[in-house]
Structure 1
Amino acid sequence: MPDSTGESVLVLVNDEGQYSLWASHLDVPPGWRVVRSTSSTRESAAFIEENWTDIRPKSMAGADGGTDPADARPSVHALFAEQAARTPDTAALVWRDQEISYRELDERSGRLASLLADRGVGRGDFVALCVERTPLAVISLLGILKAGAAYVPLDPEYPVERLRYVLDDTGARLLLTQEALGFLFVGHERETLWLDREQGHIDGLPVAPDAGTAPSSAAYVIHTSGSTGRPKGVLVTHRSLAHHAASVNRTLQLGPGDRVLQCRSLSFDAAAEEIFPPLLHGATLVLGEDPLRQTFRALTQQVVDTKTTFLSIPTAFWHSWVLEEDCLVRLAAESSLRVVIVAGEKAERRALDTWNTRVGAAIRWCNVYGPTEGTITSTLFEPGADWDGGDTPSVPIGHPIEDVRAHVLDDALRPVAAGTVGELYIGGAGVAVGYLNKPAMTAERFLADPFSGVPGQRLFRTGDLVRSTVDGAIEFVGRRDHQVKLRGYRVELGEIELVLGDHPDIQGCVALVDDTDPQNTRLVCHVVARDGADAANGELMAHVRRHLPWYMVPAAIHVIDAFPLTPNGKIDRTALSATGPSTPAEADHIAPRTPVEAVLAAVWEEVLDRPGISVDADFFQLGGHSLLAATLLSRIRSRLGVSVPARVLFASPTIEALAAAVVRLKSEPVAHAS
């Protein structure tokens, strides 16, 4: 790759005005031309930052709703409207005891599009959306698209600082939210539309006409963890999203009669896979609870009760689910499930063997892979109940879906032989536009494609190390950088390091994954304090929670005197992994002081399997994680009769703080969403 051997670095550009870094010894691919030759990647990046201020290709920046000769496939919302016309009376959404038909969903989203147009929203705009998981979420997504804009999802469980960053990064013209979430946006200066407050007005509006959105227009911007210390917004077009929905459905075969459990946060592209393939093919969305927010038995019961036929879950959750024999027996005997897909990290062969033993061929099982930059799903593997994978410890991620190309390459972009480890590059219809407001990073990760027969195409460099089998299936091996997947969530360790490094008491930070206990993989940070600073662990944890989403908060922060170094002066991460924390002073145990604290203490001791927990002890520093949090919240709901949102637990992770939150929640009136 460029700059690795001291050779000059080329800057290429295609007819769409998109840039790519390129090594000078490689042939320039068709459709690209050299605009600059530099001595380093840094110099190339500076040139790109100065000359490529808008990463959108010319066809997107100038999209005027006319015919796009490159792709006859219409916009995503136009495809939905076509499906609504075919099955107007079929249930499109089910939420609790509420059912919304395709006709009603089409009309309600069209009325919201009218209001957005009245507020000046149009083609090329970004509209931020922060709502709870109710029909309003799906209505809003479609309404934003119908107005010609792209949606920017904001998870209400994220810290205020994170939400503020995404709003600033996108420059969202409008924020759509609910009054109950207003506390997240205090001080937000751009226009805000309170959807629940405006509902009566929206109901009286006409259905908006089609905005004439071109396939090359942006459909959404989803922010992923960023190695630079800030999340990076991935820009995806209608063309890529519509292609994904059509391609994956050739395998999933969703249609009328199917019921798809929509249970992932809109801030993850997995939610788009739960929403758009079903709605573009006549299936019904069942709005349910996130698998990572409930117990295995609760999810099993939900699948049975809702007659769900299709379910997508994180691999980490599935790994634990297969250990619950009674759950799998119920899925096979009582549920309507016909397809389960898992995604997010390496799937273990032994877990699949257990699944096949208890479920057999009754439910199709697929392992899917895809970075956000490849539009959700790039490869898919369906082994079948009688698959014999030899002695491989993990399940392959499979073959590319239709119109997606996967290349296993060496550092000189040459294909490697089967069985040889190389880096995975993704090409074809799913490649995203790039990283919003990050042209240099886009040019470094989205490269000119030397393998495509279409001039000017690009490859996405995933950073994933893989190898192919003799039959062409791809096996995941690991990462070539410090990005990790933890319980299905993509985490850049560099982002955690930079957030902690921003604290005035911290001189440096190294984030690591502690996998000594495979059943309880944890994020751990080692920090060195500045001279004379008193780096209090509690303050550091509070700082992290103010800036990072809950799944990126480390389980422990260890203050050490200095980082161990390798002979060449780099931080020795292997030695650091073996460095335990200094023995803390024995903290005074504080017993429960109220009935609510007593109940919570009993629940914590059951879930964490440890006695005598002090009411000021942090759940996550005691070994808690997202899966245990789901069990904890379920038992709190059962014992105290109150539903505690996960964001409350992550903001109040001690018994005393959570007890105060429970008392407050019990005193609040129950909100009703539509």
Structure 2
Amino acid sequence: MNADVQSARNDAPKLIPHLLEQHAWVTPHACATEDAQRALTYAELAAEAEHMAARLAEVGVLPGDRVGVMMRHSVDLLVAILGVLRAGAAYVPIDPDYPDQRKSFLAADSGIKILIVDGAQGTPTSLPVMTLAPDRGRLPPRPGAPAAAPDDLACVIYTSGSTGAPKGVMITHLGLANLAAAASAEFNMGPDDRYLMLAAAAFSASLEELFPPLVQGGTSVFPTDRVALSPVEALLDFLTAHDVTLLEMQTAHWHLLVHHLVDTGGALPPSLRLVVVGGDRAMPEAVEHWNRFRLPLVHVYGPTETTATASYWSVPPGQAPKDGVLSIGDAIAGTRMFVVDERLELVPADAEGELLIGGDSLARGYLGRPDVTAERFVADRYSGIPGARLYRTGDRVRRLPDGRLQFLGRGDQQVKVRGYRVEPGEIEAALGRHPSVRQALVTTGRDASGERRLIGYVTADRDTVSVGELRSFLADELPAHLIPSALIRLDDFPLTTHRKIDHALLPQPPKCRPDLPTEFVPPTGEIEWRVAAAAAELLGLDEIGVLDNLLDLGGDSLFMLRLISWIRTHLGISLGFREVFDAYSVRGVAALADARADVTAVGKPGSGR
């Protein structure tokens, strides 16, 4: 091995299982993790993870095997993941809310040997693999148990695929360790920090939440229902009640937080000392507003292929840039970043080019996809390290005079929506599987608040398929974040003189109420009128009926959060995310608000009830 490489390996950060073992020995009684049901010290967490590893070994899981993890957000989830890593296997997170078809694909494509599920009863699933549920047993470290090596596979995280199927990114133990060490250092984490676990385990952002607390012996805090914290008021209440010190948010969610604080004159919880934001471009207006809160902000950038994070930019309190533009910062420790032209030659310092990333956080490639791996992971001609590779991000950047990088856009069709990396081709392929659809095209646009959203176009004969049918069809095939908020049927796509689709002539989602299977029913009563007017404005429509399905009108999860915020601000009524989402219509949401208003009134002096 090259001497420089050997030296770098000797200085490599400690792997995750080793960090857990270290804190179990040095600070055994310190709180490692907690949820609404229980809390575990580092000694207890290590013992439960060891027990899970032993159970996996008993059922035949060997080092290098892949183990599915399909669990709700909880301490048990962390135990399961650490148990898999301790067993020398790699975990494959599968979101319990994914449609069955998606779950089956991930299980088959990843080749999982066993599936860890919630609770003694397990999670109902048709997946043809053995399941195992945590039983919360505890064991001391097993003598002679296999120890992971830095280059061993640690997890497989799936991302959207341009060919119609998601791709599994193979992340190593060294990648996880490097990310944990870099995040811990950048966030100045210590043993007293309490980090909120907000990201879904199947999303690569979770890697930056689950593992950094282990570096300095901090506490990971799991909410009972992370989705329930989507409304800003619920999030702020939880942060205050649980003394959370560190919070990472997707950009769209952070925008909601900033606008809420500005509109209400509210304040951030006193325990909170740092907010991390990333996943999409931040709106300059929100960045400028952030200065008034006098709290540090860390802007994070990185694709899943580089273990979720490649660079940070820390913005000191009150010093956000006046133009409101956040750079993507500098490379984290153990990471190399190069800006190149179309020939993969380095460009001058201030020139635009494609960003290539390498180093300790680089993934192995795509599971079972050597062709795509060879295309995206290329030889590193610049570091001088034999065998080193670089990931072609497809992101266009330029280096600023101070050395930081500025994100300029994409060089291909890939987009970021609500913090998720989306390949339109995957959604187009799913739409194309509907028997009535002749062609499909997915693009992006902006919603009424300026956030990016997906717009789907299909060509189909009139009256053969409705928007509602297409949405239901997609819901059986794709995760919610891949379903376009607007679906438009056309007889034919507009074409250029070269017979290619003319994107400039594609119609934008109409402001008038689209054709729906439900008859238009106007609102009755003050609350229905106000909720209907607010919902129409948020959707960018002239009017909507009170029985219309809000999802069919383009009401995605971000719209629901804005509606909840509007109801709280203008009606003084707090509603939960899941109940509003399940209500699906103006009449349903108004009924919830009306009922909650009655309950509130009963408790008021002089209410006469």
Give the TM-score range, shorter chain.
0.7 to 0.9
- State the partner residue of 1:608: 535
Q: Does 1:300 align with 2:236?
A: yes
User: How far is 1:323 from its partner?
Assistant: 1.6
Change (3 A) 1:205 1:80: closer
1:184-204 alpha-carbon deviations (Å, 9 max, x no partner):
512x22211233xxx2xx527
Instruction: Give me the whole-angstrom Cα distance separating, in 1, the residues matched to 2:75 and 2:44.
Output: 11
1:611-649 CA-partner distances (Å, limit 9, x unpaired): 98656522223342222334667989x999997758x94
Alignment length (residue pairs): 578
User: Quick check: 72-81 or 262-271, which moved more?
Assistant: 72-81
Which structure 2 segments of 5+ residues have no match?
A: 3-7, 591-609
- Counterpart CA distance in 2 for 1:218 and 1:92 is 25
1:102 corresponds in structure 2 to 42
Q: Conserved in 2, the CA contact under 8 Å of 1:466 and 1:477?
A: yes
Measure the CA separation in 1 of the matches of 2:304 and 2:272. 26
Cross-structure match for 1:575: 505
1:190 pairs with 2:190: no
366-375 or 68-77, which deviates more: 68-77
Partner of 2:495: 565
Instruction: Work out which of the residue numbers 270, 275, 281 in structure 1 matches 2:210.
Output: 275
* Partner residue, 1:150: 90
Q: Name 2:477's counterpart in structure 1.
A: 547
Whole-angstrom distance in 1 between the partners of 2:283 and 2:71: 35
Residues 1-44 of structure 1: CA deviation (Å, up to 9, x unaligned): xxxxxxxxxxxxxx9xxxxxxxxxxxxxx9xxxxxxxxxxxxxx
2:436 is aligned to: 505
Using CA pairs under 8 Å that are at least 6 residues apart, name the structure with larger relative contact order, 1 or 2: 1
Residue 349 of structure 1 deviates from its aligned partner by 3.2
The CA deviation at 1:409 is 0.9
TM-score, L = length of structure 1: 0.78
| CA pair 642-321 structure 1, distance change in 2 beyond 3 A | closer
Match of 1:369 in 2: 301
Q: Deviations over 1:433-453 (max 9, x none)?
A: 011111100000000111112
Shift of 1:215: 1.4
Range 569-578 or range 129-138, more displaced: 569-578
Distance 2:106 2:91 in 1: 12
The within-5 A match list for 1:42-53 is none
Q: Where do 1:628-647 residues align within 5 Å?
A: 628-630=559-561, 645=578
Residue identity matched to 2:20: F
**Aligned position for 2:66:** 126
Shift, 1:157, TM fit: 1.6
Tell me the distance in 1 between the aligned counterparts of 2:544 and 2:246.
Answer: 40
1:617 match: secondary structure: coil
On the 8 A contact 2:436/2:465 being kept in 1, the answer is yes
* Paired letter, 1:189: P
| Structure 1 contact 607–628 (Cα < 8 Å) conserved | no
Return 606-615 or 545-554, whichever deviates more.
606-615
Q: Out of 416, 429, 440, which is 1:485 matched to?
A: 416
Question: Displacement, 1:314?
Answer: 0.7
Q: Supply the distance in 1 between the matched residues of 2:451 and 2:119 (Cα, whole angstroms).
A: 37
C-alpha distance in structure 2 between counterparts of 1:351 and 1:181, whole Å: 45
For 1:184 and 1:208, the matched residues in 2 are separated by 32
1-side partners of 2:438 and 2:536: how far apart? 36
Aligned to 1:347: 282
SS in 1 for 2:179: helix
1:416 partner letter: V
2:326 aligned counterpart, secondary structure:
coil
Deviation at 1:406, TM superposition (A): 1.1
Change over 3 Å in CA distance of 1:590–1:390 after alignment to 2: closer
Q: 1:126 to 1:592 in 2, by over 3 A?
A: farther
Q: 1:642 to 1:178 in 2, by over 3 A?
A: farther
Q: Judging changes above 3 Å, is the alpha-carbon distance between structure 1 residues 582 and 442 closer, same or farther for their aligned structure 2 residues? A: farther
Deviations 1:218-263 (A, max 9, x none): 1110101111111111000001110111122222121211111111
* In 2, Cα distance between equivalents of 1:516 and 1:655: 19
* C-alpha contact 2:518 2:547 (8 A) present in aligned 1: no
How far apart, CA to CA, are the structure 1 residues paired with 2:179 and 2:264? Answer: 30
* Paired amino acid for 1:565: L
Matched residues, percent identical? 36
Task: Give the TM-score taking structure 2 as reference length.
Answer: 0.86
Cα displacement (A) at 1:88: 0.8
Q: Give the unaligned 5+ runs of structure 1.
A: 1-14, 16-29, 31-67, 660-674
Which residue type is aligned with residue 176 of structure 2? L
Cα distance in 1 for partners of 2:186, 2:485 equals 39
Is the 8 Å Cα contact of residues 513 and 544 (structure 2) preserved in structure 1? no
Sort the Cα spacing of 1:601 and 1:516 in 2 relative to 1 into closer, same or farther, 3 A. closer
Q: What pairs with 1:281-430 in structure 2 (closer than 5 Å)?
A: 281-288=216-223, 289-290=225-226, 293-325=229-261, 331-332=267-268, 334-356=269-291, 358-360=292-294, 363-385=295-317, 387=319, 389=321, 391=323, 394-430=325-361
Asked whether the equivalents of residues 84 and 103 of structure 1 are also in contact (C-alpha less than 8 Å), the reply is yes
